[in-house]
Structure formats: C-alpha cells, structure tokens
C-alpha cells in the first residue's frame, strides 16, 4: 500500500467518525432522556472498543451485540418507538467500525513514518515510470569516469555521452495526461533493447534519457545510435512524439571541457538546439 492510498483511506473514516456521532447526538436531543443517555453511552463504548480491540474481534462483537439487541428491542416487551430502536441499534456498530478503521490507518501511518526517508531516497535514485536510475546516479558515475580519464592518460580511456529527448512531451502531456507515463515506459524499454549490455542508461527527468558508453569508437557509436533512432521512429510514428539527439565523446584531450556533469548536459542541450535551428533553416530554404 503506497503513501497516497493510506492517506486516502484514512481521510474518509476520520471525517465519518466525527460526523456520525454528531448526527446521532443531534437526533437524540429530540428523544427521551433515557434514550439520550443510552445513545451517548453506546457511542462512548464504540469509541473505546474501536480503539482497543482488533478489527476481527469487533466484527464478531458487532454481529453478536446487534443480534442480541435486535432481539430485545424488536421482539421484547420494551415499549420504545421504532425510530428510537433504530438509533440504538445503529449507534454502536457503525461508530465502532469507523473508529477501528481510523485506528488501523494510524497504525499503518505510524509504521510508514520511519520509512519515509528511505522512500524519498529510493525515488531520488530510481524512476518508477521508466524503471531506470536517475540523474543522481548518472552524475556519480560520470564524475568517477572523468577522474579516471584525468588520472590515467596512458590507459587511453574514453566515453560517449548520448542524450535522447522527447522534445514535445509537454504538449503531449496536456492532451494525454494519463498516457504519458506509459509512453515513457515504452521509450525506456525500446532504448534498452537497442543498446549494448555494457552501456548505462539513465532517466534525467523531463522526458530526457542519457546513455553512457565506454570505449566505443565513433563509427560504432553512430551505428548503435542509428539503430536506436530507427527503432524509436518505427515504434512511435505519431507526430506528437518527436525526438532530439546529441552525442559527445570525452577522452583525455577534451575532458577538461566537461569536468562537471552539468557541463556535459548543457553542451548536449546546446547541440540539440543548434540542430533544431539548422533543420528549420533548411525547411525555410
């Protein structure tokens, strides 16, 4: 059960557990004093029972007491109006059930409390829509590889950074808010199928995917990227889904231009923006 579900399931019982006794006491004002006292005691007993006794025991207790109470009030020799009998029969079981639901919700919320920090850390490192690690992990891996390229020039280390961006995802979200998460999931799955096992794929947010490839020459990298691009174009043919691409190889000769993860992200964004401007210029001509 996730956090939002627990909160939702707790709000309704809390509100009803307050409204119901208020309504009962409001109607009891117009009844006989003995009935008023009976309704008040039943509601008080229901609150105590709902807070202290497990739900399954309360269920059997409600069944037993309701059966006995119905037999006494409906078939006994008590001269009580029908409306009074109904109020007396409903006061205990309904309030006890509502209070028990609230009590269970509070216990679940309390048990979830110590894990909230862990849940936030998990969401920071892992995106549930795409089933991919996030930029937090990508930045760590990138920084370690940059340090390795810097410290071991004789190893001739290199890496290719590729970014794929669904450029019109915001417009798509406006018209298909419920379907966007599924589309992102399908994107990630398609990208995984076309990449090498050694490549690392991350989701940066805002419909942006980052791929880190180690020691792959430019021709091979271009071939892999072309395969991924064709696969995405075939899988998503709608005009509402269009992609931007940018790739940069980093080695000992140029690593100092991309020391920080933010540097390579800005560079790739500029490359994609330049490609769009160039494409529009060609179309205009």
Alpha-carbon gap, residue 37 to 47, rounded angstroms: 15
Name the helix (H) or strand (E) containing 279: helix 261-284
Contact between 133 and 202 under an 8 Å Cβ cutoff? The reply is: yes
Sheet holding 243-251, edge to edge: 126-127, 132-134, 200-205, 208-214, 158-166, 243-251
Instruction: Please report the pLDDT score of residue 174 as a whole number.
Output: 80
- Over its length of 285 residues, how does the chain's per-residue pLDDT go in tens digits? 555 565 666 677 788 888 888 888 888 887 778 778 888 888 888 888 877 777 677 777 777 777 776 676 666 555 677 677 777 777 878 888 888 888 777 766 666 556 666 666 767 788 888 999 999 999 999 999 999 999 999 999 999 999 999 988 888 888 777 788 888 999 999 999 999 999 999 999 999 999 999 988 888 999 999 999 999 988 888 777 888 999 999 999 999 999 999 999 999 999 988 754 334 334 444
pLDDT of residue 281: 38
- The residue behind tokens 């096992």 is 197
């Amino acid at each position: 059960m996730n956090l939002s579900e627990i909160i939702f399931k707790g709000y309704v019982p809390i509100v009803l557990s307050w409204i119901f006794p208020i309504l009962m006491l409001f109607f009891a004002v117009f009844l006989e004093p003995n009935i008023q006292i009976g309704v008040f005691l039943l509601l008080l007993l229901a609150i105590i029972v709902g807070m202290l006794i497990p739900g399954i025991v309360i269920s059997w207790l409600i069944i037993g007491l309701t059966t006995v109470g119905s037999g006494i009030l409906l078939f006994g020799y008590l001269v009580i109006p029908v409306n009074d009998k109904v109020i007396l029969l409903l006061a205990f079981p309904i309030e006890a059930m509502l209070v028990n639901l609230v009590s269970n919700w509070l216990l679940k919320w309390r048990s979830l409390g110590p894990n909230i920090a862990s849940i936030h850390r998990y969401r920071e490192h892992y995106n549930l829509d795409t089933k991919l690690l996030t930029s937090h992990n990508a930045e760590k891996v990138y920084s370690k590889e940059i340090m390795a390229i810097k410290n071991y020039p004789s190893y001739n280390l290199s890496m290719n950074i590729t970014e794929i961006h669904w450029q019109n995802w915001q417009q798509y979200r406006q018209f298909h808010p419920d379907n966007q998460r599924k589309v992102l999931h399908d994107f990630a799955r398609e990208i995984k199928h076309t990449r090498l096992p050694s490549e690392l794929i991350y989701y940066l947010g805002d419909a942006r995917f980052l791929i880190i490839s180690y020691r792959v020459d430019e021709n091979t990298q271009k071939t892999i990227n072309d395969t991924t691009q064709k696969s995405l174009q075939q899988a998503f043919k709608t005009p509402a889904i269009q992609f931007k691409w940018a790739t940069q190889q980093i080695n000992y000769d140029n690593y100092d231009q991309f020391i920080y993860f933010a540097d390579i992200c800005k560079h790739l964004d500029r490359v994609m923006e330049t490609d769009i401007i160039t494409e529009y210029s060609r179309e205009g001509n």
